Amino acid sequence: MKLEKLFILQKNLDSHIEAKHDLHGEDLFNRKVLALLVEVGELANETRCFKFWSIKASSAKNVILEEFVDGIHFILSLGNECGFNEHSFKLHSEPFFLDVNEQFLDVYVKIGSFQKSKTLMEYVGLFESYMQLASQLGFTNEEIEKAYLMKNEVNYQRQENNY
């Protein structure tokens, strides 16, 4: 996944949204954190991984991938907000020891830690945890990048249509 490219695309989208909605100069950090939390919840809901009381199958892979990518948008946006797009960092993938439910909880914990600290170390930990979730859900970096590019276009179209 070409992170530098995705950070730039996200920065451009964020600038477009901020201009359209006259948000320049507003601190959007906590709203973006809340949006990320909501998107992670929507992702979990589509996987149905936690719904031990239900036998209904999870949503189709493409639906789950689109929800996952919504989270990527906000993670990138938060990185841009904190100036981390200028840092050169590599995401490390570790073998996973958590089941998918525990991984979702780990992502939530890391979002909370990052929200409080706003440090690069916590940000990278959050990003890595989220990408670990991608691996557990069966997504490749190539699939994620392609889906991000498609959703980025959709997000621009939504802005043009006053979504």
Taking a C-beta distance cutoff of 8 angstroms, is the pair 103, 138 a contact? no
Question: 79 pLDDT band (50/70/90 cuts)?
Answer: very high
pLDDT for 100: 96
Output the pLDDT for position 159: 87
pLDDT band at 98, cuts 50/70/90?
confident
* Rounded distance between C-alpha atoms, residue 123 and residue 82, angstroms: 9
| Band (93; pLDDT cuts 50, 70, 90) | confident
Integer Cα distance of 150 and 109 in angstroms:
29
Nearest residue to 78 (alpha-carbon basis) of 27, 129, 43: 27
- For residue 80, name the pLDDT band (cuts at 50, 70, 90): very high
Structure tokens at 77: 């946006």
Q: Domain 3-160 class?
A: mainly alpha
Instruction: Report domain extents, the chain.
Output: 3-160
State the Cα–Cα distance between residues 135 and 1, nearest whole angstrom: 13
**What is d(CA 4, CA 97) in angstroms, rounded to the nearest whole number?**
29
Comparing 54-68, 81-95, 96-110, the range with the smallest average pLDDT is 81-95
